[in-house]
Amino acid sequence: MDVKPVSKVVIAGGGTAGWMAAASLTRLLGKSVSVTLIESDSISTVGVGEATIPPIRTLHKLLGINEQSFIKATNATFKLGIEFSGWRNEDHAYIHSFGITGKECWAGEFHHFWLRGLEKGIDADFGEYCFELQAAKAGKFGMSNQQPINFAYHLDASKYAQFLREFSENLGAKRIEGKISKVNKQSSNGFISSLTLADGSEVEGDLFIDCTGFRALLIEQSLHTGYDDWSHWLPCNTAVTVQTKSVSEPLPYTKSLAHDAGWQWQIPLQNRVGNGLVFCDKYLSEDAAIARLKSNVEGELINEPRAIKFLTGRRRKGWHKNCVALGLSSGFIEPLESTSIHLIMTGIVRLMRLFPFKGITDSLIDEYNTKLDSELNSIRDFIIMHYKVNNRRDGAFWDYCRQMDIPESLKHKLDLFQETGRVFLDDGDIFRVDSWTQVLLGQGMVPQQYHPITAEMSDAELTKFLSDLKAQVDNAVAQLPSHQQFINQHCKAN
Ligand code: FAD
């Protein structure tokens, strides 16, 4: 291995991944390393990636980003979860929220108590015991010390990259505009030594971060790291996207609407809505998808629809030699649960914790890649679950998903839940038990048993426990302002 100290970091690419990496490295390691980012004005960013999950707030706190400035600069809105319409079957909808449903208990999670309640005749949905979920349904949002709320953002991806660019440049990151035309390697060990730009200049570095998007210029085109194709489990391979003018107040959640060959997203920002139709081109043509998207969206189109092709899967190694891949260059699972930006963040944090100040060693690389493996596998399983557990009867795409083989790790989780109602998390699971239960129950999987711990409560105690919890949620939601009111008061973009 190359035990040369690492002090010069070169980031190739300036989309969300590139600027998140530049912001974090300059802010947190800027005294020890220099950061240079190369991006080409002639190669556009992917232009999507506008829904996030709550840990993004942790990164912002770590970087000292002012929340109000960030929200105003990116036209952001608050996100409390995702509504899945038509996923269980054509007529059903449920919300996967970021909240905790009911109360946590050492032995059996809340859903066991709710399942016993159902048996005893209560008629409240599982989601009625979740504050964030009910706030989302009511179109409300607020923050108070009495009732903490777990949330993420919808944001404008281009404005977010611009915001992070200013943040990084103010802290000393150097930006070079130019097209990378050649990746130069050391003959001794195959490490990248420099990048040659179209104007002939050369940028040297010790560690290279590949943020060149689907091109994967360094990690794949130069280092040939390899790709694991997951399209047999996650068959969608195209998205057609378009932005529309808002026709109503922004909802505090993302919408995911299933259709006969995939699904469609609606991501509300302060000033517009991002829309995308995700599908598998074996079951729907691009032209038909564009026509369908145009007829489904609510407001006036802001731009012409465009298609983005992708192959679900992952780069075999996130860190190979002296190159770390972040963002789309490292692979793409699916936009369904908004996990890509999150993976950029966890990649950055892991890299900083393992940063090779004294030189790159096999043990550092192995640790990075092992942790990445478990994280990716758990996200992969969570997303496959949405497709596998479906009861749609409108065509070959959903039949395929229902009948397809799934990874053993997911099969075990589904069997355990169906047979016993239990959910246990794996190492690296970013989704909590609450997420698994909300989505499994939402998709229509009802366990054959619930935990016997619930028998410790009498029927009367259980009824009171459930109705008190529901009343608490209802009261807390009643206190909240509408999502739009909250934005107007605290963080309205100009
Ligand atoms: P890009 O945005 O493609 O940026 C690549 C950069 O590399 C650009 O700056 C480009 O100029 C530069 N570059 C490329 N080649 C060269 C070269 N030769 N020389 C110099 N510069 C070069 N994620 C979420 O978290 N939530 C979502 O809701 C979500 N939805 C998505 C929907 C779809 C359909 C897709 C495809 C992705 C979605 N993602 C989502 C993923 C998200 O868009 C990406 O993770 C994120 O935008 C990061 O992209 P990137 O920076 O890796 O690549």
Q: What is the pLDDT of residue 165?
A: 98
Q: What pLDDT sits at residue 104?
A: 72
pLDDT digits (tens, 9 = 90+) for 151-164: 999 999 999 999 99
Mean pLDDT of the chain: 96
Question: Both tokens of residue 191?
Answer: 């490490």
Q: What is the mean pLDDT of residues 304-324?
A: 98
- 308 - beta bridge partners? 239
- The answer to whether residue 145 scores a pLDDT higher than 90 is no
Average pLDDT of 308-335? 98
Token pair of 159 as six digits: 């404005």
Question: Per-residue pLDDT for 51 more than 90?
Answer: yes
70 dihedral zone (left: phi>0; alpha: psi -120 to 50; beta): alpha
Q: Is 47 annotated as a binding residue?
A: no
464 carries an active-site annotation: no
**Mutate which of 24, 43, 339 to test ligand 1's pocket (most atoms within 8 Å of Cβ)?**
43
C-alpha triplet 262, 97, 447: angle, nearest 5°: 80
CB proximity list for 111: less than 8 A, separation 6 or greater: 101, 102, 126, 421, 437, 441, 450
CB 487 within 8 A of CB 270: yes
Tell how far the Cα of 211 is from the centroid of ligand 1, in angstroms: 8
Measured in angstroms, how far is the CA atom of residue 288 from the centroid of ligand 1?
Answer: 25
Q: Name the nearest CA neighbour of 254 among 275, 283, 279.
A: 275
Given a cut of 80, whether residue 126 has pLDDT beyond it is yes
Q: Please report the sign of the dihedral spanned by the C-alpha atoms of residue 303, residue 306, residue 310, residue 312.
A: positive
Distance separating alpha carbons of residues 276 and 263, to the nearest angstrom:
8
Give the residue-averaged pLDDT of 122-139.
96
Q: What is the mean pLDDT of residues 260-272?
A: 98
Mutate to test the pocket of ligand 1, among 10, 37, 41, 48 (most ligand atoms within 8 A of CB): 48
Q: Which amino acid is at 23?
A: A
328 marked as part of a ligand binding site = yes
How many residues would you count in the chain? 494
Could you read off the pLDDT of 65-86 as tens digits, one per residue? 999 999 999 999 999 999 999 9
Rg of the Cα trace of the chain?
23
Looking at ligand 1, which atom is closest to the CA of residue 18? 51
Which residue type does 338 have?
S
What b/e sequence results for 340-373 when a residue is b if at least 16 CB atoms lie within 10 Å of its CB, and e otherwise? Answer: bbbbbbbbbbbbeebbbeeebeeebbeebeebbb
* CA atoms of 73 and 109, how far apart (whole Å): 40
State the pLDDT at residue 107.
Answer: 62
Average pLDDT over residues 337-361: 97
- pLDDT 10s digits, 199-247: 999 999 999 999 999 999 999 999 999 999 999 999 999 999 999 999 9
Q: Is 364 annotated as a binding residue?
A: no
Contact between 228 and 314 under an 8 Å Cβ cutoff? The reply is yes
The residues spanned by each domain of the chain are 8-50+156-230+312-360, 81-149+238-309+380-494
- Identify the residues whose C-beta falls under 6 Å from ligand 1: 13-18, 38-40, 43, 45-46, 48-52, 157, 179-180, 211-213, 215, 217, 239, 276, 308, 310, 327-329, 335, 338, 340-341
CATH fold match for the domains 8-50+156-230+312-360 and 81-149+238-309+380-494 = yes
pLDDT-above-70 percentage for the chain:
99
Catalytic residue among 72, 79, 159, 317: 79
ipTM of the complex: 0.99
Encoded amino acid at 494, one letter: N
Task: Tell me which residue has tokens 């074996």.
Answer: 282
Closest residue by Cα to atom 40, ligand 1, is: 49
What's the topology of domain 8-50+156-230+312-360?
FAD/NAD(P)-binding domain (3.50.50)
Choose the residue to mutate in 10, 16, 20, 52 for probing ligand 1, maximizing ligand atoms within 8 Å of C-beta: 16
Q: pLDDT at position 1, please? A: 62
Give dist(CA 197, CA 211) in Å, integer: 16
CATH of 81-149+238-309+380-494, one of 3.20.20.70, 3.50.50.60, 2.60.40.2700, 3.40.390.30: 3.50.50.60
Q: For residue 330, which atom of ligand 1 is closest to its CA?
A: 52
Q: How confident is the model at residue 144 (pLDDT cuts 50, 70, 90)?
A: confident
Q: Is 372 annotated to bind ligand?
A: no
- What percent of the chain is predicted at pLDDT more than 90? 95
Is 395 annotated among the ligand-binding residues?
no
Q: What whole-number distance in Å separates Cα of residue 473 and Cα of residue 482?
A: 16
Q: What is the distance in A from the centroid of ligand 1 to the CA of 77?
A: 21
Question: Whole-angstrom Cα distance, residue 227 to residue 381?
Answer: 18
